[in-house]
Copies of this chain bind each other. A is one copy, B any other.
């Protein structure tokens, strides 16, 4: 505990980047820039240890600290050649907090500290800019009072607004010097009224108060709460940064700007930025004046004046600095600078945000430039970002009228004419129209229409509602749960916030944001550049967990394979019961009073399903295909409205009453927890037998044509050992029969989805006979939480807003709860069967934090929608690399 204060800048820097624990993130970064010879406004950092000591001292500044601050202030005065507290030419400073990690609830910045009634005059004289001086002073009073002294900031806002209103001003810059002077008086009066004493005129008094305020802000309720949530020790403390103020608004030889070492939109390796002459940072944001380009080559018209032309010397220095900084930090930098009377100061440098396209290009370029390794390049691109590259998107420059917002259920953009029923959507699309299918919610009957539409909009349902899941599977844009919409199927229109949209009207969806827009908004197609492919290759080299896809058709299988899928982790078979004539046979089965009748109907479906599987096995030649036997409850296969029931009655030659009766009999209070999955297999074994036969026959067919086929038969919704054992026995029996009849054998395996909490508990028992587990984390999340994914949308958003939950557990796997169940399942399963193959096929299989969880939990693979396969590959690489680095 020797040294409390570290100087930076003016060639006398004492700290460095790796002293973050002592100097805080901000302090260490300023020191680092100064060490690199980059001109930063000099200043000093009071260590985090001082903050701890402050509390040890009973919340009082102590002598040795004060002494060190005074010494460093003197050093600063010497470097700047002006004096703190010199009313004729005052040295002004900013005071900021800076902990090891950025933390909300900590103290905000205080600027212009050192001003008082006299110094403001001095500043006005020295700068020949009374406006600047008084504006700085009134800002200082407000910030100091609010941030350091706890005076309600809105009192100052009201005073300012009152003055502007009285004068008829629109913006702050309308204020005259006299106005500002009056405001300063009013602000001081507010301070006096609130604090019962005059606004402190002694700069040292101001400084001590500001330093104490930073220390105290370490223990605000919000900061303490945040630390608790994020397990940050109370003993870390925060540092205090005291830094010389510089001004970009001291005349035409001053300026301020922001720049990037490469183009953050495209990734192109060109210097890029904007600046304003005689301005402050916030003027760039305010948008009253148009910022100018930094360099000549980026000028869009000859009216513009680049920094390169206006201040060639400063520009040259800036170029030299950006190159140094990028090389040093080995990543694209986003920098802020101020030029004060011709002198360049760098205020900040940080890793620049960028688009997905830019992230990929910069990462790959930097590998080629020898700046970073391939592994680093992989880590430089956030998996979730890739989503932008895989779908068309709304042109960011386009004008748009957002009429409603739902959930970003399936990314991309879609434009089309509104259609309210699936059949009609299909017909319209067949005839060449672009359509958007709009429904209260969707059901499996709507699949054909969903496939034909450009996009899907639903009024109800969450991120894993039927519409959302199916749309993501299809890689199709979908906005779900736009609850504000009032839809009338009868009137064929919907109404939202005063706008009425009729069938046939154009709308545009942004599935990446959940926005619904009126009319046709232009979209742009993504370009999967060669860089993308190279990056994914490096990712594949790095990752250790497999990536499969959820695909139900040969087409989806092919798309996913092109995206790099290494097999199918979930081939749902329910769609195979809907297509074409099949639904008639399925309904015949449902209406049958006995097993014989059901078998007769199923016999009609079997050859068609066999063909389906032949198509899928062929598309996935050489790769494993996990086929899930029928999962949804039977009532999903019968119509629920009277009209369709009557049509079905005519088709089947029975009375509509009989149909209605059957539908009523099949209906369930909680279909999610109903008669579905293996429960169907137990009560109607003939259904699962038919499916097993179709799968194995198809496998034999494809194998006979010389192709390698790896079928994995998956029993859904298993919750007891007996359920699985009975089904496994059935599959083995059918396999024997089929192999004998086909005179060929195909190796196959039988496993189960683990999606019921009880299955996790008895995983060891299930693993006695099961060769693989595939965690169905959608349903497992529903049951572990007791959340219906179709209903939870109503309160989940509020849960996330109120921080009851960190994230929607249907989007990112809930590792604390559901994850524990998954781990239990894996542990118990592998205790019984060490070689048990384990994967995930819930929607989480394509979500990066969940993929990382799956990697850590020791799964063999993740499986996700075709369009998320690249994301999963990259996320898997990140997980492996992060682990390696630990």
Instruction: Say whether A790 faces chain B, with CB atoms less than 8 Å apart.
Output: yes
A818's nearest neighbour on chain B, judged by CB, is B758
Whether A795 and B670, one on each chain, are in contact in the complex, defined by CB atoms closer than 8 angstroms, is: no
What residues of chain B lie closer than 8 Å to A783, measured between beta carbons? 673, 757, 783-784, 786
- Neighbouring B residues of A795 by C-beta, 8 Å: 675, 679, 682-683
Asked whether A673 lies within 8 Å of B787 as measured between CB atoms, the reply is yes
Q: A804 an interface residue at 8 Å Cβ cutoff? A: yes
Least distance between A26 CB and chain B CB atoms (Å)? 31
Give the interface size bracket for A toward B: 35 or more
CB-CB under 8 A from A717, the residues of chain B are 786
Is A571 part of the contact surface with B, judged by Cβ < 8 Å?
no
- List of B residues within 8 angstroms of A679 by Cβ: 795
Q: Which residues of B contact A726 (CB under 8 A)?
A: 802, 804
The minimal Cβ–Cβ distance linking A489 to chain B, given in whole angstroms, is 13
**Complex Cα spacing A791 to B670, Å:** 7
A722 to B784, Cβ gap below 8 A? no
A257 interface residue, CB < 8 Å from B? Answer: no
Contacts of A669 in B (CB 8 A): 671-672, 788, 790-791
- Give chain B residues whose Cβ lies under 8 Å from the Cβ of A786: 672-673, 717, 719, 755-758, 779, 783
Please give me the residue from chain B that is nearest to A726 by CB atom.
B804
Cα A783 to Cα B679 in complex, Å, equals: 16
- The answer to whether A791 and B761 touch across the interface, beta carbons within 8 angstroms, is no
What is the distance, in angstroms, from A789's C-beta to the closest C-beta of chain B?
Answer: 9
Any chain B CB within 8 A of the CB of A743?
no
Which residues of B lie under 8 Å from residue A723 when comparing CB positions?
A: 804
Q: Is A799 an interface residue (CB 8 A)?
A: yes
The copy count of this chain in the complex is 2
Closest to A466 in B: B669
Q: What string of 1s and 0s marks CB contacts (under 8 Å) between A747-787 and chain B? A: 00000000111100110000000000000000100111111
Once A722-B803, A803-B722 are accepted as A-B contacts, the answer to whether A756 and B782 lie under 8 Å apart by CB is no
A344 to B880, CA, bound (A): 84
Chain B residues with Cβ below 8 Å from A761 are: 784, 816-817, 820-821
> With A762-B817, A804-B682, A818-B758 in contact, is A719–B672 under 8 Å at CB?
no
Q: Contact at A788–B673, with CB atoms within 8 Å?
A: yes
With A786-B783, A821-B761: A804-B720 Cβ-Cβ less than 8 Å: yes
Task: Report the minimal beta-carbon distance from A373 to chain B, rounded to whole angstroms.
Answer: 40
Smallest CB-CB separation from A817: which chain B residue?
B758
Q: Complex: how many Å from CA A804 to CA B725?
A: 10
Assess whether A668 is interfacial by the CB under 8 Å rule: yes
**1/0 per residue A650-691: CB within 8 Å of B?**
000000000000000000111111110001001100000000
Pick from B762, B785, B814, B816: contact of A756, CB below 8 A. B785
Per-residue contact bits, chain A 484-516, to B (CB 8 Å; 1 contact, 0 not): 000000000000000000000000000000000
Q: How far is the CA of A818 from the CA of B756 in the complex (A)?
A: 11
A805 interface contact, C-beta 8 A: yes
- A670-B670, A674-B791 known; 14 new pairs, CB 8 Å cut-off, are A669-B672, A669-B790, A669-B791, A670-B671, A670-B788, A670-B791, A671-B791, A682-B795, A682-B798, A682-B804, A717-B786, A756-B785, A762-B816, A762-B817
The interface of chain A, by Cβ under 8 A from chain B, is 668-675, 679, 682-683, 717, 719-720, 722-723, 726, 755-758, 761-762, 779, 782-788, 790-792, 794-795, 798-799, 802-805, 814, 816-818, 820-821
Interchain residue pairs with CB less than 8 A apart (9): A669-B671, A673-B782, A673-B787, A682-B798, A682-B802, A683-B795, A758-B818, A761-B821, A783-B786
**Minimum-distance CB pairs A-B, first 10:** A673-B788, A670-B788, A758-B817, A669-B790, A757-B757, A670-B670, A668-B791, A756-B786, A670-B672, A722-B804
